Structure 1
């Protein structure tokens, strides 16, 4: 194994050890010694890669941020497909399959309260850069639309995790798509009038 491969493996092992601890307890209770003991390294090795446990958390959060393509592709599809999105929704599903557990922990009650804001700010920033390039008329209003949409998606996912996935992932995806296409008030009205 090359020296660079060993360094990358060591770094990954430290990140994984941190995450194993973060699942169990708040960051304030995680020490460098906890991480290095779990990963099988000494404290000096930790400081070769990171300044403190908070830097490790920031690295973990950065790795979970959605890519620009994942955010822009649905908008391109929306414009080119008469207001319908299908393929890019599948990209979001893949993203959640790959990162959902970690995102759920960060968004949950024991997670990082800043993560929701950071996630929304990244999504909003990327989308708004794209929108500004299009020179649409209602740029300021579009930013509020994005905030509403992203907040709803995040909150739906949080509730799904809190409810221990009491509906299937496919049902959640379909509900999200229905709300996006038909509007929440229209769906709420239909559900309120569809009695047993």
Structure 2
């Protein structure tokens, strides 16, 4: 890595360390540069403002096209069980969970969830149109439904301080996705002590 890349990364990491603790609106350039060990001028060599660092951070958290489309392309090969192909997704979540948790948390960035879902939806819909699938607009609603559910479950898991084992949660998400909410709720509500 060049010295410029090291300096830029140090500034990003300093921003991240502060952002974990306080909302964006309360962070100053001076705090970032003090934490990173640089002067204010150095910050402006790499970024126009604090929002630019946050945007860069958000962009780096969007999964790759391959990670998103890989499971869809494997559906024919694994009898329609998308979850057999999600190991890379699980690794992605484990690697980035802290940053995602901050961005979707109460002091995070409300636009992150929208941007995250929109980019994933666009990638999948490009693939759907390539396949010339009938009723692509319905598929887009299914994608939105699933993404919203997954993000909501992740947020609840974080709110509950990760009280459920992550593998148990992953299995539960798979079960809900495969059986459907109505079927599972009916079964659970009728399963009394």
In the TM superposition, residue 87 of structure 1 has moved relative to its aligned partner by 3.7
Name 1:15's counterpart in structure 2.
12
The answer to whether the aligner puts 1:176 opposite 2:135 as a matched pair is no
* Alignment size in residue pairs: 193
Whether contact under 8 Å (2:78, 2:84) holds in the other structure is no
In the TM superposition, residue 122 of structure 1 has moved relative to its aligned partner by 0.6
C-alpha separation in 2, matches of 1:40 and 1:24: 19
**Could you list the per-position Cα deviations for residues 99-129 of structure 1 after superposition, in whole angstroms to 9, with x for gaps in the alignment?**
0110011001000010010000011000000
Match of 2:183 among 171, 186, 189: 186
Whether contact under 8 Å (2:104, 2:155) holds in the other structure is yes
In the TM superposition, residue 85 of structure 1 has moved relative to its aligned partner by 2.0
Counterparts of residues 49-88 of structure 1 (less than 5 Å): 49-88=46-85
Name 1:137's counterpart in structure 2.
134
Whether contact under 8 Å (2:8, 2:46) holds in the other structure is yes
**Could you list the per-position Cα deviations for residues 52-71 of structure 1 after superposition, in whole angstroms to 9, with x for gaps in the alignment?**
00000000000101111111
- Structure 2 segments unaligned to the other structure (5+ residues): none
Name 1:165's counterpart in structure 2.
162
- Structure 1 segments unaligned to the other structure (5+ residues): none
The answer to whether the aligner puts 1:43 opposite 2:40 as a matched pair is yes
In the TM superposition, residue 25 of structure 1 has moved relative to its aligned partner by 0.9
TM-score by length of 2: 0.97
Name 1:119's counterpart in structure 2.
116
